[in-house]
Structure 1
Amino acid sequence: MNTSIFVLIGILFILMAGIGGSRGIRSFFSIVYTVTIFMLLLIFISMGFDPIKTALIGSLFISIILLFNINGVNKMTVVSSLSVLITILLTLLISLPFVQAAKIQGFSYEQVEQLSAMTPYIDINLADIVFIEILIGLLGAVIDVAISISSAMNELYVLDPSLSFEKLFASGMKIGRDILGTMTHTLLFAFLGGFFSILIWFSTLDYSFANTINSKLFVGEIFHIVCGGIGILMVIPITAVLMATVFTRNN
């Protein structure tokens, strides 16, 4: 591995420790844990384990590690983990028939040169890999939104424990709507950044607009951002109703 990568990782650790303190250090090691889990996912899938079930279990572990390691064991973290799990399952159930109908799994003819050096005899359903890609792209955004809403609602309840379910839920929804615009743009920018080189490639090959929007590569990226948006939209009410229920049930 290039030495410059280790230097950048060292700079990242110093900045996270210096600015974030103990929480920054925990966040850094959470990144290490997450990368390790992804490596284990690849190993288990290559060994023949069911890709979707393996990815779901891995996502659950990643959510638990990220949320509990950074925020500790409390009601807020438990609710965030539960809302993330529910949102991921619902999003995958909604997107499943559309991904199958779009037939975006597998490789496109732009990747023929890359395939020439690979063997076609692999015992992996490429349709499942599409769901794993959607799941990975969805996970970070959903965790971010869930913890942001639950943290803000937790502070509201600490300041005023007399808040009713309706008022706390309404506050959670308002917080979620404020987050919604920035998070959807985050997904869009991630899509544009990852797809920019491919768009230049298409332009160099003199692709028409119709060929571009019908390419598997392009449609696959669109599915990622749309499914991510659906997940963000669903995690807002799910987190708000769970937080309001947990904090006001004694009232």
Structure 2
Amino acid sequence: MIKQNVINYLRPNSIRQLLMYIIIILMGVGVFLTRYDAPLYQNHIVGVVETATQQSKQKTTDQFNNVDYSITQVLRIKILNGDRHGQKVKVKNNYFKSGGLNQAYRPGQQLFLNHEAGNDISIIGQKRDTLVALMAWITVSLLLMLMRLPGLMTLISVIINVTLLYLAIKLDLNVTNINVVFLFSSVGILMAFVTLSLALGWNKKMAITLTATLLSSVVALIIANIVMSLTHQRGLEFELMDYITQLPQPIFLAEAFLAALGAIMDASTDIIATQFEIQEAHPEVSRRNLFNAGLGVGRSIMGALTSVLFLIFISETFAMSLLYLRNGNTWGYTIEINMVLGMVQTTIAGIGIVLAVPIASGLAAFFIRNKEVA
């Protein structure tokens, strides 16, 4: 029964759906062809590993009794592009078994190579465009097949938002003394507007959701600023932020705003959508009951959303934190170096989610009571 329902759902019942499946198939063919796109690379030499032979293996132990193995491979590589297309070269690859900084290579893998002085060839890294294209194709295919029009709107939203973020970064790099918080907050507002417009349409529901999202985000950021000012930012080691070439505090606040915006928008959307459905099903519902219904939805989802943010943060810092601990650092030092800034950003987002519950519930209850659902 379930199998038949799935078949009926996926069976194309219009020219538009048939065209969608054709596009998905063509995209799959394109993914397959990325395996043979080496001639398209002009700035890098691409080669494929034909054989990989282990030449030596040496055990190493550090002062904390961490054991690793330094291994040397000899790779026979066939060059796939450039002036040396078709030639075969031997390249040594030195790596550690732990794989912290480098990796072993296997026959069949394609690599980016560098032509050094003399005739020497060195390895830059693995060519992974096929893997990236495959993951993108799977994501797009699932969105289009399972969600159809909403899935297409999601893809369009992602493309527009990535473009906006790219333009903001270019502007930040090319304009001297630009206000980073204002720039990325403005971009965040535009991204929220685009996302909600494509997901909900241009209607009252979208306007209320956008207003609740922005109000909650701004208030959360104001609270964070007040607390950091009162505590003189003690315990926040901004200089430990990776690869920062600008003032770190504004970058941190911009990161916090963008991180909070998505989760707050999710909470606001769920709350307000539920209130609109209640109003549509029960037009006589009072503002108080509508507000309480929104609070109930918010209470049920804010814990899960905050936990998701925390788990994402933990997954980002887990590997580096483990490395610090394995090298004899204390828990306190490891948390201070790797986790404190992320924890603060997660806390700011959590404050925003909590604020979104009464703000979204109140705005929706006020504006949709006894009015036609947009």
Q: Which has the higher contact order (CA 8 A, sep 6+)?
A: 1
Which residue number corresponds to residue 17 of structure 2? none
After superposition, the C-alpha distances for 1:34-88 in whole angstroms (9 at most, x for unaligned) are 1111111211222232101111110110001000111111111110000111111
Confirm whether residue 191 of structure 1 aligns to residue 313 of structure 2: yes
1:105 to partner: Cα distance: 5.4
Determine helix, strand or coil for the equivalent of 2:325.
Answer: helix
Confirm whether residue 212 of structure 1 aligns to residue 339 of structure 2: no
Over 3 Å counting, the alpha-carbon distance change for 1:200 and 1:6 in structure 2 is same
Contact 1:105 1:126 in 2 (8 A): no
1:158 to partner: Cα distance: 0.4
1:212 to partner: Cα distance: 2.1
Q: Indicate the structure (1 or 2) with the bigger Cα radius of gyration.
A: 2
- Which sections of structure 2, spanning at least 5 residues, go unmatched? 1-127
Which residue number corresponds to residue 240 of structure 1? 361
- Which sections of structure 1, spanning at least 5 residues, go unmatched? none
Structure 1: distance between partners of 2:259 and 2:371 = 37
Q: In terms of mean alpha carbon deviation, does 229-238 or 26-35 score higher?
A: 26-35
1:185 to partner: Cα distance: 1.2
Q: Which structure dedicates a bigger proportion of its chain to strand?
A: 2
Structure 2: distance between partners of 1:201 and 1:132 = 28
Confirm whether residue 40 of structure 1 aligns to residue 40 of structure 2: no
After superposition, the C-alpha distances for 1:105-159 in whole angstroms (9 at most, x for unaligned) are 54329x6xxx6xxxx9x5x321100001111211110111111111111100000
Determine helix, strand or coil for the equivalent of 1:107.
Answer: helix
Confirm whether residue 107 of structure 1 aligns to residue 234 of structure 2: no
Which residue number corresponds to residue 226 of structure 2? 97
1:203 to partner: Cα distance: 1.1
Which residue number corresponds to residue 231 of structure 1? 352
Structure 1: distance between partners of 2:369 and 2:250 = 40
Contact 1:41 1:54 in 2 (8 A): yes
Contact 1:105 1:127 in 2 (8 A): no
Contact 2:157 2:194 in 1 (8 A): yes
Please report the RMSD computed on the Cα atoms of aligned residues, expressed in angstroms.
Answer: 2.0
TM-score, structure 2 as length reference: 0.61
Structure 2: distance between partners of 1:238 and 1:212 = 37
Identity %: 20
Confirm whether residue 153 of structure 1 aligns to residue 275 of structure 2: yes
Q: Please show how residues 18-167 of structure 1 align to structure 2 within 5 Å.
A: 18-46=145-173, 47-48=175-176, 49-99=178-228, 101-102=232-233, 104=236, 106-108=238-240, 122=245, 124-167=246-289
1:213 to partner: Cα distance: 3.0
1:249 to partner: Cα distance: 6.4
Over 3 Å counting, the alpha-carbon distance change for 1:106 and 1:214 in structure 2 is closer
Confirm whether residue 180 of structure 1 aligns to residue 302 of structure 2: yes
Q: Which structure dedicates a bigger proportion of its chain to helix?
A: 1
Contact 2:325 2:331 in 1 (8 A): no
Structure 1: distance between partners of 2:329 and 2:210 = 44
TM-score, structure 1 as length reference: 0.89
Contact 1:105 1:130 in 2 (8 A): no
